[in-house]
Amino acid sequence: MPAFLGLLTALGPAATGAFLALVPAFPGPAAPHDRPARSSCPHVLAVAARSGPLAMACRAFAGPRTGPPPSLRPGGGRARQTGAQPARRTGRPAAGRRAQKAQAVRTARPVGAPRPMGKGAVASAETRGRRSRGQVAVAAALARIGTPFSWGGGSPAGPTRGIGRGARTIGFDCSGLTLYAWARAGVRLGHYTGTQFRQGRRVARGDLRPGDLVFFGGGRGDPTHVGLYLRDGVMIHAPKTGDVVRTTDFARSAYYRARYRGAVRPG
């Protein structure tokens, strides 16, 4: 500031008076960051245009320009760089998408082809496949244990009212029980012991399997009783009037051993 006052003195009274007349237009001292960029400089420059030395003084007093750097002004290079960037394409290239679509077409399941089964479905199918029709028949008969004996009773659908002395009872007779059990396995049998004796192939006693029909009584004629073989010499049957469907170890029974006529495997 002393150098600036010395410069005004050297310029003479007229220049000093002109400058002092313009001093009120300048703001008071301020921190560098508060100084207006070029708020009052137009007035000073107007005078400086008519006085070369005074213009130099005005520039020295006004100080350096404090406006924003060119890189941050509207239209500056950095503003262009920091502006919104174009969205990047994150999808697969067109060639990659075409290859993926072609692969999907090659591996698509043909129309009408069976859907792949899960492990649980496969295991269930295998279990059903291993279960024989005889086992299905045995399971159906076991579910009817305790059902009353009814002469002439029983059908593919279940226990029925019988005939004769069984007319007042809903249940099974011996051939009605076996008829029902094998119907559950998909095999149709006649409702008569002699007929069932001829509806299948004969099976030796040592080759008996669950569900095979075992026959008793009748001498040389048609058997008079039938049951379903369970295992280990045990059968499921409907014995007689007043009794219920139950299991009997015919292999250990003197009565049934003496009257055993053979076995038949239906289907």
Q: Is 174 a catalytic residue?
A: yes
Q: Which residues contact 234 (CB under 8 A, 6 or more apart)?
A: 247, 248, 249, 250, 251
Question: Of the residues 41, 58, 191, 225, which is catalytic?
Answer: 225
Q: Is 225 a catalytic residue?
A: yes
3-state secondary structure string across 213-255? EEEECCCCCCCCEEEEEEECCEEEECCCCCCECEEEECCCCHH
DSSP string, 99-160: HHHHHHHHHSPPTTPPPPP-HHHHHHHHHHHHS-HHHHHHHHHHTTTTPBB-TT--BTTB-E
Question: Of the residues 41, 43, 58, 237, which is catalytic?
Answer: 237
- Number of neighbours of residue 13 by Cβ within 10 angstroms: 9
Token readout for 79 is 């503003």
Residue the block writes with tokens 């792949």: 116
On the CB side of 208, CA atoms within 13 Å amount to 20
Token readout for 59 is 């520039």
Question: Of the residues 33, 58, 174, 191, which is catalytic?
Answer: 174
Distance CA 266, CA 43 (A): 124
Instruction: Give CA torsion, residues 172, 218, 236, 253, to 10 deg.
Output: 140
Q: Is 58 a catalytic residue?
A: no
Catalytically active residues, by annotation: 174, 225, 237
